[in-house]
Amino acid sequence: MMVSVNAPNRESLRSRRRRETEREIHLAALHLARAHGFDKVTVEMISAEAGVSPRTFFNYFPNKDAAIVQGPAELSEELAAEFVSAGPAPAKQVLTELTRLLTRDFSEHPPQREEVHAAFELAREHPQVLAVLLARFDAFAVHIADLVGRRLGEEAGDEVPALMAAIALAAVRQGLDRWARASDDGSPVPYVERSMDLLRTLLAP
Shared domain for 145 and 195, answered yes or no, is yes
pLDDT confidence of residue 75 = 80
CATH number for position 113: 1.10.357.10
* Residues 64 and 41 sit within 8 Å (Cβ to Cβ): yes
**pLDDT tens-place string over residues 44-78:** 999 999 999 999 999 999 999 889 887 676 787 88
Whole-Å CA distances, 136 to 28, 84, 133: 19, 23, 5
73 against 4, higher pLDDT: 73
pTM of the model: 0.72
Shared domain for 49 and 145, answered yes or no, is no
The span from the CA of 202 to the CA of 205, in Å, is: 8
Tally of domains in the chain: 2
**Is 131 among the domain residues?**
yes
The span from the CA of 168 to the CA of 175, in Å, is: 11
**pLDDT tens-place string over residues 15-52:** 778 888 988 999 999 999 989 988 999 999 999 999 99
The span from the CA of 134 to the CA of 128, in Å, is: 10
Shared domain for 24 and 62, answered yes or no, is yes
pLDDT of 7 strictly over 70: no
**pLDDT tens-place string over residues 90-144:** 888 888 888 888 888 777 777 788 888 888 888 888 898 888 888 888 888 999 9
CATH number for position 14: 1.10.10.60
The span from the CA of 134 to the CA of 136, in Å, is: 5
* Residues 195 and 171 sit within 8 Å (Cβ to Cβ): yes
pLDDT confidence of residue 6 = 45
Closest CA to 61 of 34, 43, 37, 42: 43
pLDDT confidence of residue 5 = 43
The type of residue at 62 is P
